[in-house]
Structure 1
Amino acid sequence: MKQIFIDQFVVPPTAQQEFKERMKINRNFIKKLEGFIEDRAYERHDEQGNLICITTAIWQNEDVLKKAKEAVQQEYQQQGFDMKAMLQRLNISMERNTYREIAD
Structure 2
Amino acid sequence: MNANETSRPLYRVDKFIVPAQGRDEFLDKVARTHAVLRNQEGFVRDYILEQQSGPGEFNMVTFVEWTGQDAIERASAAVAKLHAEIGFDRREMMTRLGIRADIANYARLEI
TM-score if structure 2 supplies the norm length? Answer: 0.84
For residues 28-55 of structure 1, the C-alpha deviation after alignment (integer angstroms, 9 at most, x for no partner) is 11101111000012212689xx871011
* Correspondence for 1:96: 103
**C-alpha displacement of 1:103:** 2.3
> Could you tell me how far apart the structure 1 residues matched to 2:58 and 2:25 are?
12
* Aligned residue number for residue 39 of structure 2: 32
Secondary structure at the counterpart of residue 39 of structure 1: strand
Tell me which residue corresponds to 2:21: 14
TM-score (norm 1): 0.89
Counterpart in the other structure of 1:71: 78
1:58 Cα deviation (Å)? 0.6
Unaligned runs of 5+ in 1: none
4+ residue segments displaced more than 4 Å: none
- CA RMSD after TM alignment: 1.9
User: Percent of aligned positions with the same letter in both sequences?
Assistant: 25
> Residue 79 of structure 1 aligns to which amino acid in structure 2?
I
Alignment CA distance shift 1:11-1:45 (3 Å):
farther
SS in 2 for 1:81: coil
Using the alignment, how far apart are the partners of 1:70 and 1:9 within structure 2?
Answer: 22
Match of 2:3 in 1: none
8 Å CA contact retained: 2:36, 2:78: no
Matched pairs, number:
102
- What is the aligned partner in structure 1 of residue 4 from structure 2? none
CA distance in 1, matches of 2:79, 2:94: 16
The answer to whether 1:82 aligns with 2:89 is yes
Q: Between Structure 1 and Structure 2, which shows a larger proportion of strand residues?
A: 1
Unpaired runs of at least 5, structure 2 = 1-7
